[in-house]
Structures are given as C-alpha cells and as structure tokens.
Amino acid sequence: MKLHRPSVGSVTLSLLVAAWLALVTNNVFWRDVATAFGEHMPGLAAFSIGIVALLAADTIAVSVKYLTKPIFILLIVSAASAGWFMEHFGVIIDTDMIRNAVQTTPAEAGHLLTPAYLWHMLVYAVLPSLLIVFVRIRHRPFPAKLKYNLAVIVPFLLLTLALVAWQYPAIASTMRNNRLVIKTLNPVSPIISAVKFVIRSGQESVIVAAPLDSDARLGAAINKAEKPVLTIIVVGETARAQEFSLGGYERKTNPELEKRDIAYFPNTSSCGTATAVSMPCMFSALTRSEYSHEKALAQENLVDVLSHAGVNVEWWDNNTGDKKIGDRIVKRKFYEENDPRFCNEGECLDTVMVNALGAWLDGIKGNSVLVMHQLGSHGPAYFARYSEEERAFRPDCRTAEFADCTQQEIINAYDNTIVATDRMLAAVIDMLQARSDQIASTMVYISDHGESLGEKGLYLHGMPYIFAPDEQTRVPFLMWASKGYTRLFGLDTACLREQADAPYSQDNLFHTVLGLMDVQARHYQREQDISARCRSPLS
C-alpha cells in the first residue's frame, strides 16, 4: 500500500515555519521585548507584528525549489538549539560564543548535551523537521512563483514599514536603550553570527604573526643570578573574584592561600567573557580597547617575546587548547594524555599538572616561564572539577543539568571548584618554595573570565562585554614570590599588598611578567607592570 503524503504550497509551508520560529522558539526574545517596551502597548504591538511579518517574508523569500526543505530544517534545528541555551543559561549566541563552541573539546561539549537538551531537540527540532521531510511541497513554475511570492512578501514588508513609521519614536528609543534584545531574535541573530564567524575564520586562516620585540633581551639583574629564575603563570578558568575569600567572600574558599605570603588584587577586570577572547588578549601587547582577534593573530605575543629574550617557555594545557598563543613554543596537552589517575573521558582534574610539575622543576637548567592553563571552574559540570576531599560545600549540584538543582546547590558546586583551585595554587607554591635553593621563582595566577550563577537569570559566561554583569568580568589575580626571588630583585611583597585595592586588568599581565623576568623589550610599559614600583634589584 502506497503511503499517502500530504502536499502543501511553498508559501503556506513558509508561513507555518515562520509561525513556529516566531511563537515557539523565541521565548527569550518575546520576554525581553515585553520587558523593554513595558506599558507602551502600541509600540510593543507594532514592533512584535513587524518582526513576525519580517520572519514571514524571509521564509517565503528562501523557499527556493530543491532548497526549501534543507533551509527550513536548518532554521528549525538552529532555532531549537539556540533557544535552549538562551532560555536555560541566559547566553547570547554571538560570534565569540560560536568561536567557543567550535574550539571546545568533545568532553566539554558532552556536558551540555544533557538528556533534557536532547529531549528538547527531539520535540522542537527533530519532529517538525520530519514533518517537513514527509510532506510534498507544491512549487509554481519559476515566473509564476516569483510573481506570487512577491505578491505576498511585498505586503509584509509594507506592513512592517508602516508599523515602524507609526511607532518609530517608541521603537527607536526602546531598541537603542535595550540593544541586547535584538541579539536574542532566533534564529536570525545566531545565523548572522555564524556567517560572520565563517567569514572571519577564512580571513584569519591566512594571517601570519609578525615578529614582536625580536630584539628583547634579559636585564642586568637576572644576568647576575646564580640560579635559574622561573615564573609560573597559572591561567585560571571561569573563576570569578566574588567567590574568593581572599577578597572578602564569607565562605572560606581559599583556606590554603590565606596561609601563604601572597599579594591578591580583587579589583581586576577581564578582557572578555570567554576564553577565546580573554586568553589571547591577556597574552598580547594589546589593551582591551585595542584588541581584536585578527590583531592578536597578526602579531606575536608574550611567550614569543620571552623566547626572543632567551627564556625557556612551555605551555601546559588542561583545557581546550592555547588559542594559538603557544604556536611557536613547546606545548603539552594533558587532556589528550588521559592519565587514568586524574582523567575521565577526556577531562582531567588540574592536579594532573601538579603531579607532573615536580620532575619538570627538577630538570630546569635556565631561566624559564611555564604557563599552566587550568580546567578550573568550567561549567556546567562543576562537580567534575574537584575531588571528594575538596567537596567542602554541600549539598552540591552533581549534574550538568542546572534545572535539576537549586541555585544554592549550583553555588556550592562552583565554590568547591574554587577550593580545588586554592589547593592547586598552594601546592604549586609549596613545590617552588621547597626548591628555593635551586630556583628563584614567582607565581602569577589570573582567571580568564568570571561566571554567572543565576544572578539576573544568567548562568555560565560569554555575554557580550558591553552587557556583561560584574560576575563575568571581575576576576581573581594574585602573585607570590620566593625569598630567593625577593632577595635577587629586591621585591617588596608588602609593597605589592599595599596596592591590593587598585583597579587592574588583564592588560597588566604582559608587562608584569616581562618585569618579573627582567626582560628588556620595546613594548614593555613600566607603568603597567604591577611589580615595578616594588622592585629594586640588588647590585
């Protein structure tokens, strides 16, 4: 028996798809629109009807024979997926967020593909897509189709123009004061962002990094040192300053670091709200206001300048990679080694790097810098970032599906990740201190960005910087120096602590590390070096 397949006109199907996209996958957008317009009902009605009319016109415009089904399925799948993440985590699917998604590891991506997400995709993406596959679409001959489609599209466009003209002052002022709203229009904004990302990726693929300070050299103080000078840079992941008890948080999330002689700078701002932005930015000579991904790729960075000066530089990674920062130095990817003592399904506790550090320190022959890129507090699977011994706050969220946990359980799990980082940093300090007769050492820790834990309905990170809350842009930043280092460079740690309340940013990292390693370079700016005023090398 032949299965009967119903048929539908291309315009009718286009209107049905537009209605589905507008009414089913845009909960966040309509919520934000209603909030933005408030009690101005004429403006709200005009804007809303205009948006639906534009979506209808767009779907009709792309209903090209042989391409209609693939295009509509793409729209529905992308809208279903983007809608889920916007609604559940409060994220915006912009170019930087897409870059993060592309650069993530399978293990990290797996934490986001929860049973609830898969069920959502089945209902809101797979089922409507199957219906589109099943039906037969009636297309008119091209001349008649063009004429008929325009006869429908043009009135929709004229309606939109008329509505905008009618309520232009209200719409213009509301959108100007609520620029984030249009970024949640689904799937228009995510698709535009994806197209931009593809175009930029093609342009970036041919960029070659120009030399930066290739004539950099070591200064007089370090050349007089009788033992190797070492700086370890620990790049934190998703740690926010609000959760560090070093900065006044009521919970003891830094019990170990509080026992060490460190300088902590709680008022430090990040360059971005995602690793793919913040990390290349903080290692570049560019300030946040100057930074772009293309500019950073077009010139060498901090690790290159250190190498030019004759410093041995290595990059250890336990996250999603070095974002091309370490393309010209030695790298080690711990998540690929998958040591069963510390790793599970492609992700490792940060103690995997601490475990390897002792032997590496014992093998140092000359002045060195080691970058350790943490997995840190990366969500949503906070529970997978710490050991049972580090599970200080309970009950903690034991799933990547936040809907199954209370906000307090999510906070407890996140705070436990800070405890794990505290122990890791203390362990690094202790290992350096134990070798103070062999190495003059410093350690710098700075997180790449912060994290939202439900404040204002937001979770995770990645909000456009201009709209991002303080929780995503204020990061912990600390320094420690061994006694051998302080004697060699005359570093006054009390002086460092006196600067604790000053406002700093990731812009300071480039210059501070060059200063700590006594590297003379043209792009070094003493006023941006946090340690400069507290150093007076001994003659």
**pLDDT tens digit string along 481-535?**
999 999 999 999 999 999 888 999 999 999 999 999 999 999 999 999 999 999 9
pTM of the model as a whole: 0.91
For residue 472, what pLDDT is reported? 97
Helix (H, G, I), strand (E, B) or coil at 488: helix
Mean pLDDT across 122-143: 94
The beta strands (E) that lie in 51-206 are given as 136-138
Angstrom CA distances, 230 to 148, 234, 265, 516, stand at: 73, 13, 21, 9
Residue 376 dihedral angles phi and psi, to the nearest 5°: 55, -115
Question: How far is the C-alpha of 521 from the C-alpha of 310, rounded, in Å?
Answer: 12
**pLDDT tens readout for residues 9-56:** 999 999 999 999 999 999 999 999 999 999 899 999 999 999 999 999
Does residue 216 fall inside a structural domain? no
| Secondary structure of 442-464 as H, E, C letters | EEEEEECCCCEECHHHCEECCCC
- Are 359 and 433 within one domain? yes
| Least confident segment among 104-118, 201-215, 493-507 | 104-118
Q: What is the CATH number of the domain that holds 398?
A: 3.40.720.10
- Are 29 and 170 within one domain? yes
- Are 365 and 247 within one domain? yes
Residues 9, 10, 15, 17, CA torsion sign: positive
pLDDT band at 3 (very low <50, low <70, confident <90, very high): low
- Tokens describing residue 140: 């008119």
- Are 236 and 97 within one domain? no
- Are 239 and 194 within one domain? no
For residue 203, what pLDDT is reported? 85
- Are 389 and 241 within one domain? yes
- Are 190 and 291 within one domain? no
Residue 216 has pLDDT above 80, yes or no: yes
Question: How far is the C-alpha of 102 from the C-alpha of 96, rounded, in Å?
Answer: 10
Mean pLDDT across 268-290: 96
Range of the domain at 284: 228-463+488-534
Does residue 210 fall inside a structural domain? no
Q: Calculate the average pLDDT of the chain.
A: 94
Q: How many domains does the chain have?
A: 2
- Are 287 and 421 within one domain? yes
- Tokens describing residue 130: 């199957």
Helix (H, G, I), strand (E, B) or coil at 520: strand
DSSP assignment of 15-50, as one string?
A: HHHHHHHHHHS-HHHHHHHHHHHTT-HHHHHHHHHH
Mean pLDDT across 334-348: 91
Does residue 94 fall inside a structural domain? yes
Does residue 475 fall inside a structural domain? no
Residue 443 has pLDDT above 50, yes or no: yes
Question: How far is the C-alpha of 90 from the C-alpha of 351, rounded, in Å?
Answer: 31
Q: Identify the bridge partners of residue 236 per DSSP, sorted by sequence position.
A: 447
The alpha carbon torsion through 337, 340, 346, 350 (nearest 10 deg) reads -80
Does residue 254 fall inside a structural domain? yes
Q: Which of 289, 380, 376, 371 is nearest to 323 (CA)?
A: 371
Does residue 476 fall inside a structural domain? no
Does residue 539 fall inside a structural domain? no
Does residue 212 fall inside a structural domain? no
CA 312 to chain centre: 28
Question: How far is the C-alpha of 471 from the C-alpha of 452, rounded, in Å?
Answer: 6
- Are 185 and 328 within one domain? no
What is the DSSP secondary structure assignment for residue 299, as one 8-state letter? B
97: Cβ contacts below 8 Å, ≥ 6 apart: 91, 193, 274, 462
- Are 168 and 263 within one domain? no
Helix (H, G, I), strand (E, B) or coil at 75: helix
- Are 167 and 306 within one domain? no
- Are 339 and 455 within one domain? yes
